[in-house]
């Protein structure tokens, strides 16, 4: 989950069920209670390791992340993007 705010609203994150499966549901409910606009993007996998980064690079080769990974891994042909 990634959340960005154009204006700081500390109430959005007060007393939330951190590290639980209910966090996103609670965050949406809190945003609605506070009258905040939110937009959910399509789900992508986490980038937790090299394998997931390489999958992202294959799936979206023109993305800024894939372009940077290509430059970083260029000296290491066994990990080419």
d(CA 26, CA 81): 37
Instruction: Quote the pTM value.
Output: 0.55
The pLDDT tens digits for 9-59 are: 989 999 999 999 999 999 999 999 999 998 888 877 788 888 988 898 999
Higher per-residue pLDDT: 77 or 42: 42
pLDDT at residue 44, rounded to an integer: 76
Sketch the domain layout of the chain as residue ranges: 1-43, 50-79
């Amino acid at each position: 989950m990634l959340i960005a705010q154009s204006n700081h609203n500390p109430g959005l994150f007060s007393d939330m069920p951190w590290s639980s499966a209910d966090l996103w549901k609670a965050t949406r409910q809190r945003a609605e209670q506070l009258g905040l606009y939110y937009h959910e993007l399509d789900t992508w996998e986490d980038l937790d390791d090299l394998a997931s980064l390489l999958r992202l690079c294959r799936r979206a080769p023109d993305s800024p992340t894939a372009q940077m990974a290509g430059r970083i891994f260029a000296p290491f042909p066994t990990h080419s993007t």
